[in-house]
């Protein structure tokens, strides 16, 4: 929830000021923007995002005082009347001279007038949800993720998330403690198989083992009080001849973000998108680009079944072992994102649309062709790493607001 502080010139009578504030508040509530109104001109707390409703001109110094000593950027809400916008221009210029970040959000007339403010509110709510979250790195990042091994301090500084290192051996030990005939395993397998169009390669033993991974992961994540995890899952393939694909798929469907291969930046991207949009994320490998036609192909084996129109239960692509999900999705609007860089403050974000699926035997099981709005030359020339994340809907605007304000 945003705390909004009005600022107004003394030339504006208090009844008129209060009426303006009430009208804006009613308008925002109708738009679904959760907020609290503070006292006019009150100073923002040090840990609070300063959001100032600049009602009139002549408020420049009052706004600077109200912005307080917070290290967070300042959001200035401008409207078309009472010299609000001119004042905001002067205020932000001075803030930038002082080395502070911020932006002006213009409250336009018309039905779409609060869209930019809604995006800022959505971004701020996502930031609050991420703060203090515990991301478990279960096993080290996979050896091939050479650009995806950020330090814990970098993660905390940029995203407010705490990394928790957990040995993969804990999952393997927890798997041994699950009885082979446990009723919960039978229930998980029945749910997976019962809703599937077909079971292709996996045997009954494969299905039991995949369900055992899920039970063990749940137990380990609960033990360490994790809010999300990423798993060095290929060690399950090489050492136990099973996979974590079903477990990660199911955990994501349950709202517990679970990434694969120990990829911290990709899992942070999943957490970011879920915190902002509330959508189940799908992490995938980009497989092919067509720059001229803005087409990107992605694929992976871990998609959440809640996203699908239907699916087949398959083996893991690279190994031919274990259990994976080959999903079928409707053509629909989506967003693609990836964070990266040494300080984790760089990001690729684009809206797009699923235009086709695929069934190549030489790619991971769930395969999508997506038409994107971004210039894909950025991916070819300045990549942030392999795994990218997809969610349903168009969220590039709110993600852009998050990047401007918090990264």
Is 134-406 a domain of CATH 3.40.50? Answer: no
Strand 257-260 relative to strand 228-231, pairing: parallel
Report the run of H or E that residue 352 belongs to, with start and end: strand 346-357
DSSP string, 242-285: --SHHHHHHHHHTT-EEEETT-HHHHHHHHHHHHHH-PPPEEEE
Do residues 182 and 215 lie in contact, with contact meaning Cβ atoms separated by under 8 Å?
yes
Sequence-distant (≥ 6) Cβ neighbours of residue 247 within 8 angstroms:
210, 213, 214, 217, 258
* pLDDT reported for residue 41: 92
| CA–CA distance, 182 with 193 (Å, rounded to integer) | 17
CATH 3.40.50-classified regions of the chain? 2-113
Give the other-Cβ count within 10 Å of 240's Cβ. Answer: 16
Q: Which two tokens stand for residue 359?
A: 């069934």
> Tokens 């969610």 — which residue?
391
CATH 3.30.70 fits 2-113, yes or no: no
pLDDT at position 144: 87
Q: Strand, helix or coil at 7? A: strand
Residue range(s) of every CATH 3.20.14 domain in the chain: 134-406
Of 315, 328, 326, 335, the C-alpha closest to 388 is: 335
The angle formed by the CA atoms of residues 309, 311 and 313, to the nearest 5 degrees, is 165
Half-sphere exposure of 294 (CA within 13 A, CB side): 12
CB-based contact 288:166 (threshold 8 Å): no
Question: Which uninterrupted H or E stretch holds 221?
Answer: helix 204-223
What is the per-residue pLDDT for 308? 98
**Among candidates 47, 111, 37, which has minimal Cα distance to 77?**
37
372, 350 contact by CB (below 8 A) = yes
List the strands of the sheet with 198-199, edge to edge.
Answer: 198-199, 310-314, 324-328
**Are 382 and 348 in contact, with CB atoms under 8 Å apart?**
no
Contact 206, 319 (CB under 8 A): no
pLDDT in the model for residue 111:
77
The pLDDT of residue 384 is 96
**What pLDDT does 45 receive?**
86
Paired residues of 337 in beta bridges: 349, 389
pLDDT given at position 229: 98
Task: Say what the pLDDT of residue 40 is.
Answer: 94
Q: Mean pLDDT for each 10-residue chunk of the chain (407 residues)?
A: 95 95 96 94 90 97 94 95 98 96 93 91 97 96 86 96 97 94 92 97 96 97 98 91 96 97 96 98 97 98 97 94 96 98 97 97 96 96 97 98 95
Residue pair 391/281 in contact by the 8 Å Cβ criterion: yes
Rounded to whole angstroms, the maximal C-alpha distance in the chain is 78
pTM listed for this prediction: 0.96
């Amino acid at each position: 929830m945003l705390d909004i502080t009005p600022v107004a010139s003394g030339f504006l009578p208090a009844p008129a000021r209060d009426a303006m504030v009430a009208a804006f508040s009613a308008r925002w509530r109708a738009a679904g923007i959760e907020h609290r109104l503070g006292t006019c001109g009150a100073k923002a707390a040090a840990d609070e995002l300063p959001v100032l409703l600049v009602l009139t001109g002549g408020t420049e110094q009052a706004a600077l005082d109200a912005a307080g000593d917070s290290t967070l950027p300042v959001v200035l809400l401008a409207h078309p009347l009472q010299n609000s916008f001119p004042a905001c221009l002067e205020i932000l210029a001075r803030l930038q001279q002082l080395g502070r970040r911020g932006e002006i959000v213009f409250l336009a007339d018309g039905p779409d007038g609060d869209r930019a403010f809604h995006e800022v509110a959505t971004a701020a709510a996502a930031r609050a949800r991420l703060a203090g979250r515990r991301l478990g790195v279960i096993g080290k990042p996979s050896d091939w993720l050479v650009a995806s091994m950020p330090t814990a301090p970098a993660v905390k500084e940029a995203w407010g998330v705490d990394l928790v290192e957990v040995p993969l051996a804990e999952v393997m030990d927890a798997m041994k403690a699950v009885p082979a005939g446990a009723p919960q395993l039978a229930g998980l397998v029945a749910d997976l198989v019962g809703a599937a169009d077909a079971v292709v390669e996996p045997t009954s033993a494969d299905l039991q083992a995949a369900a055992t991974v899920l039970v063990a992961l749940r137990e380990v994540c609960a033990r360490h009080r994790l809010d999300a995890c990423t798993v060095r899952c290929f060690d399950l393939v090489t050492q136990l001849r099973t996979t974590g694909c079903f477990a990660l798929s199911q955990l994501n469907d349950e709202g517990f973000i679970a990434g694969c291969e120990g990829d911290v930046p990709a899992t942070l991207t999943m957490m970011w998108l879920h915190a902002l949009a509330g959508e189940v994320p799908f992490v995938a490998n980009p497989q092919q680009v067509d720059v001229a036609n803005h087409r990107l192909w992605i694929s992976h084996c871990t998609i959440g079944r809640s996203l699908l129109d239907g699916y087949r239960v398959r083996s893991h692509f690279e190994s031919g072992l274990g259990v994976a999900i080959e999903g079928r999705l409707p053509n629909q609007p989506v967003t693609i994102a990836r964070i990266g860089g040494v300080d984790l403050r760089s990001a690729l974000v684009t809206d797009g649309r699923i235009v086709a699926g695929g069934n190549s035997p030489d790619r991971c099981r769930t395969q999508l062709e997506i038409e994107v709005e971004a210039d894909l030359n950025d991916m070819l020339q300045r990549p942030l790493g392999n795994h990218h994340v997809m969610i349903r809907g168009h969220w590039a605007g709110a993600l852009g607001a998050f990047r401007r304000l918090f990264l």
